[in-house]
Amino acid sequence: MSIRHSNTHFHRTRASAYAAAVFALLVAISVAGLANAADDAPVSTNDNVAPPVQFLNDVVPLLTRLHCNSGGCHGKATGQNGFRLSLLGFEPDFDYAALVSEARGRRLFPADPDQSLLLTKATGVVPHGGGRRLNIDSDDYRVLREWIAAGAPAPRPDDPHLVRLELKPKRGQLQPKSQQQLRVTAHFSDGTNRDVTQQSVYLSNVPEIADVDRGGLITTQPRVGLFAVMVRFGDQLGAYYGAVPRAEASLGNTVGNAAALSNIDRHLLAGWNRLGIEPSPPADDAAFIRRASLDICATLPTADEVTAYLNDTRANKRKRLIDRLLDRPEYATYFALKWADILQNRGRGYSTRKQRPGTTLFSAWIRDSIAANKPYDQFAAEILTATGSQQQNPPAIWYRSVRTQQDYVESVAQAFLGVRIQCAQCHHHPAEFWSQADYYGLAAVFSRVGRKGGFTDAEVPTNETIYLKQEGEVRHPRTGKVLQPRPLGGPDFDLSPYDDPRQAFARWMTAPDNRFFARTMANRLWGHFMGRGIIHPIDDARSTNPPSNPELLDELAREFVKSRYDIKHLIRLITTSSAYGLSSVPNETNKDDLQNFARFYPRRLSAEVLLDGISQVLEVPTQFSGGPGVFPPGTRAIGLPDENVPMNFLDVFGRPARTSACECERSDAPALAQALELVNSTEIQKKLTAKDGTVARLAASKKAPAEIVREIFLSTLARPPSPEEKATAVEFVNSESDRSEAYRSLLWSLLATNEFLLNH
Amino acid sequence: MLRVFGSQYQNCDGLSRRNFLELGAPLLGLGLADVLALRAAGANTKQPNEKPRGGKSLIVFWTHGGMSQQDTYDMKPDAPAEYRGMYQAIDTTVPGIVLGERFAQQAKVMKHISLVRSVHHENGIHAPSAHWMQTGHFGPTLARNAAKFPSFGSVIARTNGAHGEHMPPYVTIPKSEAFGYQGAVYLGKAYNPFEVNADPNAKNFKVANLAPPSGLTLKSVESRRRLLKKFDTLRRDIDSSGLIEGLDTFKAQALEMVSGERVREAFNLSAEPDKLRDRYGRHQYGQSALLARRLVEAGSSCVTINTGYWDHHNDIEKGLETHLPPLDVAMAALIEDLDQRGMLDDVVVYCAGEFGRTPLMNGHAGRDHWSNCFTTMLAGGGLKGGQIVGASEKFGGGVRERQVMPLDLLATIYQAMGISLDTYYIDSTGRPTNIVSPGQPIHELL
């Protein structure tokens, strides 16, 4: 494995000894890839037995496979042309009634099965909005016909039911432009099994890497990467995990001493070896101090900080920098902003004046918790189990904007468990095992949350008292059965009437062996620093959306639990990893890869960070107003308590409305409106023309233009200018009669560069 | 087929756009599909304002929610009351064509207007139908799900660009429809609509950011632009997601928009005589239509006016009484004004929504979703006026003759605008996708 050390675009300082050492080791060390040969042993089937066609195990899966019960057709809540099935067949009893009893029995006609509307529609003999789904001479047709001819027998309680799916192979390493046939075996409760490869439904999560056809045949594309194929039969799911390495790569054939690497780096290297991807070289020191300062403290390094860092010759200077940054108050402010998004500390409502004290208190509590490095399990539990007055117990303010059964379930699942369970409100989750029992069982955890007092004449009442009611139950929307509080996946909590179910839930969630809690936070923070989660999107964990590097995620989660949920420890692990220190400049092998972190993925500074950065460079803080009075001078955008502070700049650059626990609400997509804001907003022009800002200071300075230009480059781009850049800038300043205007234009032009707008 | 290759447009740094996209490297926050989509788009990207082009424009009145055809463009005066609805049919200036009585103004300019009374598609839910009608393809089944195909406005922006310098090629008033199906998808972010984000009928109507702040002179803007060109040298190949490309494109355009009078003047409604503003109607639809005319005059290629919400399941009369009169006044005034200015042959006027509404009134004096047969309106652009294409059944319901699918409508509009129907773009999977196939233009109107 060879590494090309291409030169970066601007002049580099020497790579630190630390990074170089790690890097050299990475290059030298071998880790076996995912080389488990595909297991192609034949699947046992009971070919000689021809059991009667069963509704549950034969007919319903066909309705799924033929897309009859899909969300676009008869499976949607309103059905299609008066014929409604349960989505993806998750409610067979409902489907049976729909087929047998509705429409005056015209859908099935046992006396002359071929005249059944089910078959004549599906074959297109009778006009069908969904077109022809079925051929008369197909096996699928015969199955349906046989069932109708037998009198359309109903499912019986003692019918064998589907227990699990067996997939062969389960994982594998495939060459680009090659094929792999999946075999699916259904195992039933009576011990029988049969091959259902042709009756299953398949879906690839990255068709650009590998696609799959109706018969379970995977075809890989020229593109390199990891993929998963979801397999569905009946109410069971399975997933095949595949890797498509570079065809020309020799994988994992180098040798060396793995013991010298951190576990994190070992897993990263394994990921790269798995696909034949080579990492980019380490980022230079100037890039690293800017990157780490922005990611940890949302703050640009000052010119002095950059100079000192570039001159620092100590071996562990990256680690020392990270430690310094984690001790700064901006770290807590920045991560409080992030958590205030996730915890929906929303300011919009009937009266900003009434809302603001609550949002301020909650925001301050989050900030204090992060500054104190409060263990994450304690942080989460204090929020979920909060009771009492919101004025006296700030974590109870979470219950301000999280108010309904739906809010409780979806916010908790997404924020703390990394799961999007929304689908299961109305039906079985189509791509995971979550059922309505999971959704409403979790809802039952919160069913006794009571509220009293407070200012209620508002969209979002404020200043309430949260307490545990004597009663409060949740019923399954379909069966009407009262559901006991239970965590995702069950079983029910063992509770007495005197117990607060939320306490039981918090204990379950924060237990060391919980498979969601620590992993979600590890993945969330990895996503924060690396620009992309190991599971991506970060809050959509599913067996059908697997982590790109499971061992890496497990390692981070394990370390996090072991450290007793020490958030700073987790951040140190991530930011001292080799991946975080890599250059963003791609090489041939990693330029298309977004799964393995073999280079730094650049991203635009978020709205608040960008505005604060501009304020810092121009030495003119933004004056925020809104609600009762104005914010104290020097308030940073990242320090605002809620989103209800008018500022067009923040809105066009993607400040979220805090209406859900999804970090995806924050957008970094470019838009014309952003460019217009940069080019000619009053806000930026005001900062450029302020009497006591950078421009005024530089215009009055006695320093030589060359020196000033150097300072400007350090303060904006965290690096000295190249000789050409310096010459251009000095020449421009000298050519302008108005020194203030000269520095205004120079500063503006640097603030508008991609180099400034991006963390790279 | 005509392959729309990107021109070898030289970017600020002298590196051709095509080159750096081919070098490419992806970005966080986007799925691989997005990256591929954006890259595919980028490979063919032209600056929207690369060079001024002649060409026709489109003004759309989008009836989000679904306007009732049977109370407006496809009256059934002889049907039983529960089908006929509450409105009388009135004669128009074209013998034999009747309209609903709330379209009295359009009746006067009927010779310019053609109606397609047999539009059909096969979905009855807002989101997929809105996607279908605006992209030509069945789409996502949830409103929050991302669009799969580009909107016709974005296709027009991409193929025709703006025909006036520095103008945004594609504008939505007051902003884009809530489902998110008026965007560019794999054509590239630069072809998303420019949202006005303000009500043109508001007293102090102003587009944020188009007016440069006080104290900023043109000379300074010019210096800034020159310096930016020198310093904006971050390697483009660290990103192939379209992020850097988008930033570059929009910065260039923003500098143009601010430094030129042209764009700001195009948005300046107060330059219009009061009398004309009155004629368009002092309401959001009227002033939006007038703004649309100014924008296409200045060079925008597609302006979409989103006209509120037409989902009248209950008490349809109440809803239509709010929407129909201002819409009628606005559309008639626009057609008349374009005609008087000699612009009508260069501007297609189109009124459509995701579907029509049920011919039979429901129990709540409303009409429900109906995509089996509904009407869209076309005028101008050199299309024949005063025509009726297709017909619905006796009391409405199904198509009686000449079924027209959404892609047929798009093909008709593109053809009228001079866009080659053989044009194709590379979609997110790398597949060449024709802009209208298998749609056929409505030959009766051409």
Long-range contacts of B268-274 (CB under 8 A, 24+ apart): B268/B294, B269/B200, B269/B205, B269/B294
Mean pLDDT of chain B: 84
Q: How far is A718 from chain B (nearest CA, A)?
A: 13
Q: What pLDDT score was predicted for residue A48?
A: 52
Task: Compute the Cα dihedral for B421, B422, B423, B427 and give only its sign.
Answer: positive
CA end-to-end distance (rounded Å), chain B: 22
- Cα–Cα nearest to A688, from B206, B220, B247: B220
Burial (0-12, 13-18, 19+ Cβ within 10 Å), B197: middle
Prediction ipTM score:
0.81
Alpha helix stretches (DSSP H) within A277-328: 285-297, 303-311, 317-326
A599: tokens are 């280079």
Are the Cβ atoms of B33 and A208 closer than 8 angstroms? yes
Residue B198: its chain A contacts at CB < 8 A? Answer: none
Mean pLDDT of chain A: 87
Q: How far apart, in whole angstroms, are the C-alpha atoms of residue A351 and residue A73?
A: 44
Higher pLDDT, A716 or A541: A716
Q: What pLDDT score was predicted for residue A70?
A: 78
Residues in Cβ contact with B427 at an 8 Å cutoff, skipping those fewer than 6 apart: B37, B40, B149, B186, B433
Q: How far apart, in whole angstroms, are the C-alpha atoms of residue A530 and residue A548?
A: 13
Asked whether residue B439 carries a pLDDT value surpassing 80, the answer given is yes
φ, ψ of residue A164 to 5 degrees: the values are -160, 165
Residue B36: its chain A contacts at CB < 8 A? Answer: 208
For A89-127, what is each residue's pLDDT tens digit?
888 888 998 998 887 778 998 889 999 999 999 998 888
A210-212 and A201-204 beta bridge pairing? unpaired
Cβ of B431 under 8 Å from any chain A Cβ? no
Alpha helix stretches (DSSP H) within A656-702: 672-680, 682-689, 694-700
Q: How far apart, in whole angstroms, are the C-alpha atoms of residue B115 and residue B119?
A: 10
For an interface test with A, the pick among B247, B257, B267, B368 (most A C-beta atoms closer than 10 Å) comes out as B247
Give the Cβ contact number of residue A590 at 10 Å: 23
Are the Cβ atoms of A753 and B231 closer than 8 angstroms? yes
Residue A725: its chain B contacts at CB < 8 A? Answer: 230-231
Bond from prior residue into B200 cis (ω within 30 degrees of 0): no
Q: How far apart, in whole angstroms, are the C-alpha atoms of residue A272 and residue A5?
A: 17
Are the Cβ atoms of B27 and A602 closer than 8 angstroms? yes
Q: What's the per-residue H, E or C state across B179-219? A: CCCCCCHHHCHHHCCEECCCCCCCCCCCCCCCCCCCCCCHH
Q: How far apart, in whole angstroms, are the C-alpha atoms of residue B172 and residue A567?
A: 45
Are the Cβ atoms of B250 and A671 closer than 8 angstroms? yes
Q: How far apart, in whole angstroms, are the C-alpha atoms of residue A29 and residue B405?
A: 61
A49: tokens are 């037995």
Residue A755: its chain B contacts at CB < 8 A? Answer: 231-234
Q: What pLDDT score was predicted for residue A106?
A: 82
Asked whether residue B19 carries a pLDDT value surpassing 50, the answer given is no
Q: Are A577 and A261 in contact (CB under 8 A)?
A: no
Percent of chain A with pLDDT over 90: 61
Kindly list the domain boundaries of chain A, sorted by start residue.
17-29+260-327+519-603, 55-149, 162-244, 375-510, 605-759
For B155-165, what is each residue's pLDDT tens digit?
999 999 888 87
Are the Cβ atoms of B36 and A686 closer than 8 angstroms? no
Burial (0-12, 13-18, 19+ Cβ within 10 Å), A663: buried
Q: How far apart, in whole angstroms, are the C-alpha atoms of residue A401 and residue A659?
A: 9
Percent of chain B with pLDDT over 70: 83
3-state secondary structure of A621: coil
* H/E segment holding residue B58: strand B57-62
- CATH for the stretch A162-244: 2.60.40.1080
Q: How far apart, in whole angstroms, are the C-alpha atoms of residue A204 and residue A227?
A: 7
Higher pLDDT, A296 or B257: A296
Mean pLDDT, rounded, for B87-106: 97
Q: What pLDDT score was predicted for residue A17?
A: 42
A424: tokens are 């299961």
Are the Cβ atoms of B194 and A601 closer than 8 angstroms? no
Are the Cβ atoms of B213 and A685 closer than 8 angstroms? yes
φ, ψ of residue B279 to 5 degrees: the values are -65, -40
Length of chain B: 446
Asked whether residue A255 carries a pLDDT value surpassing 90, the answer given is no
Burial (0-12, 13-18, 19+ Cβ within 10 Å), A620: buried
Q: How confident is the model at residue A10 (pLDDT cuts 50, 70, 90)?
A: very low
Q: Which residue has the tokens 């409505």?
A: B442
Burial (0-12, 13-18, 19+ Cβ within 10 Å), B275: exposed
A428: tokens are 């079985």
Q: How confident is the model at residue A726 (pLDDT cuts 50, 70, 90)?
A: very high
- The chain A residue lying nearest B225, using CA atoms, is A749
A95: tokens are 């489907």
Q: How far apart, in whole angstroms, are the C-alpha atoms of residue B59 and residue B377?
A: 12
Q: How far apart, in whole angstroms, are the C-alpha atoms of residue B337 and residue B282?
A: 16
Residue A673: its chain B contacts at CB < 8 A? Answer: 195, 197, 208-209
Residue A604: its chain B contacts at CB < 8 A? Answer: 243, 247
Mean pLDDT, rounded, for A206-210: 89
Calculate the CA B128 to chain-centre distance.
17
Asked whether residue B34 carries a pLDDT value surpassing 60, the answer given is no
DSSP assigned state of A88: G
Q: Are B404 and B439 in contact (CB under 8 A)?
A: no
Q: What pLDDT score was predicted for residue A73?
A: 74
Bond from prior residue into A394 cis (ω within 30 degrees of 0): no
β-sheet bridge partners, residue B394: B396
Homologous superfamily in CATH for domain B17-445 = Alkaline Phosphatase, subunit A (3.40.720.10)
Mean pLDDT, rounded, for A50-57: 83
Asked whether residue B206 carries a pLDDT value surpassing 70, the answer given is yes
Q: Which of A226-230, A402-406, B242-246, B401-405 shows the lowest per-residue confidence on average (mean pLDDT)?
A: B242-246
- Give the HSE-up count for residue B194: Cα atoms under 13 Å, Cβ half-sphere: 31
3-state secondary structure of B117: strand
Q: How far apart, in whole angstroms, are the C-alpha atoms of residue A378 and residue B271?
A: 63
Asked whether residue B209 carries a pLDDT value surpassing 80, the answer given is no
- Cα–Cα nearest to B327, from B133, B28, B102, B95: B102
Q: What pLDDT score was predicted for residue A545?
A: 87
For B44-66, what is each residue's pLDDT tens digit?
333 333 333 457 999 999 999 99
Tell me the C-alpha to C-alpha distance, in Å, between residue B138 and each of A81, A569, A582, B65, B181. Answer: 18, 49, 43, 17, 12
Asked whether residue A81 carries a pLDDT value surpassing 80, the answer given is no
For A301-334, what is each residue's pLDDT tens digit?
999 999 999 999 998 999 999 999 999 999 999 9
Kindly list the domain boundaries of chain B, sorted by start residue.
17-445
Q: Which of A347-351, A511-515, B433-437 shows the lowest per-residue confidence on average (mean pLDDT)?
A: A347-351
Are the Cβ atoms of B224 and A590 closer than 8 angstroms? no
Q: What pLDDT score was predicted for residue A486?
A: 94
- Cα–Cα nearest to B134, from B74, B236, B58, B29: B58
Q: What pLDDT score was predicted for residue A658?
A: 86
A449-452 and A465-468 beta bridge pairing? antiparallel
B302-306 and B57-62 beta bridge pairing? parallel
φ, ψ of residue A231 to 5 degrees: the values are -120, 130
**pTM higher than 0.80 for the full model?**
no
Q: What pLDDT score was predicted for residue A458?
A: 52
Residues 17-46 of B with CB under 8 A from A: 23-33, 35-36
